[in-house]
Amino acid sequence: MMRFLFLVILCWSFTCNAQNTAIAPGEKLVYTASYNMSGILNDIAQVTMETSNVQTSKATLLRLKCTAATYSKWDNFFKIRDLYESYVNPKTLTPYLYKRNINEGSYFKAMKYTYSHKTNTIKSVQTKKNNQVQNKDFTFNAGSNDIVSTLYKLRTLDYETMRVGQQKTIHVIFDRKETKGYITYLGKETLNTAIGTKTCYKISIGSDSKALEGGNSNLLWLTADANKIIVFGKFKIPVGNGELKIKSASGLKN
Amino acid sequence: MKKLFTVLAIIASFLAIILAVLPVSNLAIIPSILALVFGLLAFYLSKKTGQVKKIIQFTFFLTIIALAITTYKALFSITEVADTQELKATESQSKEEALEELEDLEIEDIDIDTSELEDIEL
């Protein structure tokens, strides 16, 4: 599921600081994740993406939360309960704190990044089973994002001004490494989804990492409206391929 | 040849039954079709020689049961997430910890129009 989320989410961090006009607190997007087994797609998990405001004494931040949970029929085989969070600036989606809690059967891993944008450093704390704690500080390039804020940040891009085939380079921080990724705008397509027929921006995602297969195998469709929500995704990883389909959407900003 | 098709039909029909009762019941369609094809071939060849073994009919029986289970599960089983208490507890705890950590952070460059936030329940 780690890889799955990575590939679904993996993409870019933009060097430009796009303003958020698409994401509001109180938004909830629910997806069904399917995995291809012998040519037949099987629904394996529900992925939920929620936003909410978080008030500190200094500022109000936006909490971006992603959860992945296997459907009950799979729980006896491999139970997944993953939580990804990013606390970001509500206007620019600049991350300040990232937390990841992976609970997959007998496998457990937690990760925390605390960003310092003044020094471009991240203090990370990794916790594994039996409380094995590992601290590591590392530097990051300005404009790099964690996986959750990256996913939301792609909704702040202005696709209308992009040419078909236009490519952007992106930087995503995952597992305490900065990965270079590429996004290609492939034009508009109309899709029938659970939330209606939508005209969508189609984009392709690639990376230098081995997590994603090459070519146009990893695709995302974002609604071609002011909300730019992801309604459909196709992914291909070394161990197989699958899809992500929207189930419901509520609390949208526009 | 008759024996080969009979053995293949038996294997495919048992595989179909096993897959049908697992969460991957959709996959049972493939061995079910194979079991039917092999079973029919074995049945045809057996009939030519004038002796149809009961085991061939048994493979048809197993295949029909597998297809019935698969169809029932595809039509009537609800895909839902259960047992999320632990996840919700983790979420809540994580948020509390995050709030404490955020208080200690230097958060700069945030200029929020608070009028937008007044209507939001925190």
Which residues from chain B sit within 8 angstroms of residue A117, using beta carbons?
Answer: 108-109
- Which member of A37, A56, A63 has the closest CB to residue B24? A37
Residues B85, A125, B105, CA angle at the centre, nearest 5°? Answer: 90
Q: Which residue of A has its CA nearest to B106?
A: A116
CB count, 10 Å around CB of B120? 13
**Phi first, then psi: what are they for A192, rounded to 5°?**
-90, 120
The answer to whether residue B89 neighbours chain A at the CB level (below 8 Å) is no
pLDDT digits (tens, 9 = 90+) for B66-107: 999 999 988 888 888 888 888 999 999 999 999 988 888 777
Return mean pLDDT, chain B.
Answer: 85
Mean pLDDT of A29-49: 91
List, in order, residues 6 or more apart from A131 with CB less than 8 Å away: none
What would the two tokens of residue A174 be?
A: 């995952």
Question: How many angstroms separate the CA atoms of B112 and B114, rounded?
Answer: 6
3-state secondary structure of A172: strand
Pairing of strands A95-104, A107-116: antiparallel
Which residue among A32, A59, A70 places its CB closest to the CB of B110? A59
Task: Enter the tokens of residue A158.
Answer: 């202005």
Contact criterion met (CB below 8 Å) for A61 and A54: yes
Bridge partners, A146 (sequence order): A173
pLDDT of residue A182: 85
Tokens matching residue A160: 């209308």
Contacts of A136 (CB under 8 A, 6+ apart): A124, A126, A176
* Residue A89 near chain B (CB below 8 Å): yes
Q: Structure pTM?
A: 0.82
Q: What is the CATH number of the domain that holds A240?
A: 2.40.360
- Indicate whether A40 pLDDT > 90: no
- B101·A71 Cβ contact <8 A: no
Q: Identify which has the larger pLDDT, B103 or B111.
A: B103
Q: What is the pLDDT of residues B12-43, one digit of tens each?
A: 999 999 999 988 888 899 999 999 999 999 99
Residue A64's pLDDT band (boundaries 50, 70, 90)? Answer: very high
Q: Is the confidence at residue A104, as pLDDT, over 70?
A: yes
How many domains does chain A divide into?
1
C-alpha B120/C-alpha B122 separation (Å) is 6
Give the pLDDT confidence of A117-151 residue by residue, as tens digits: 889 999 999 999 888 899 999 999 888 899 999 99
**Residue A224 is part of which domain span?**
2-250
Quick one: pLDDT at residue A249? 95
Each residue's pLDDT tens digit, A195-243: 999 999 999 988 876 666 556 788 999 999 999 999 999 988 777 889 9
pLDDT at B70: 93
The shortest C-alpha distance from A164 to chain B (Å) reads 34
Kindly list the residues from chain A whose CB atom is less than 8 angstroms away from the CB atom of residue B94. Answer: 83, 85, 99, 101
Helix (H) or strand (E) holding B20: helix B2-21
Top pLDDT among A191 and A132 is at A191
For residue B89, what pLDDT is reported? 92
* Contact with chain A for residue B101, Cβ under 8 A: yes
What is the reported pLDDT for B24?
85
Pairing of strands A240-250, A230-237: antiparallel
Q: How far is B69 from chain A (nearest CA, A)?
A: 15
pLDDT of residue B53: 82
Among the partner residues A65, A69, A97, nearest to B105 by beta-carbon distance? A97
Residue written as token pair 């909490």: A63
Separation between Cα atoms, residue A27 and residue A227, nearest integer Å:
10
Helix, strand, coil percentages for chain B (3-state, nearest 5) = 75, 0, 25
CA distances from B97 to A63, A129, A200, B94, B119 (A): 13, 19, 38, 5, 25
- Identify the pLDDT of residue A211: 60
Q: Could you tell me if residue B109 is left (phi over 0), alpha (psi between -120 and 50 degrees) or otherwise beta?
A: left
DSSP string, A55-89: E-SS-EEEEEEEEEEE-GGGTTT--BEEEEEEEE-
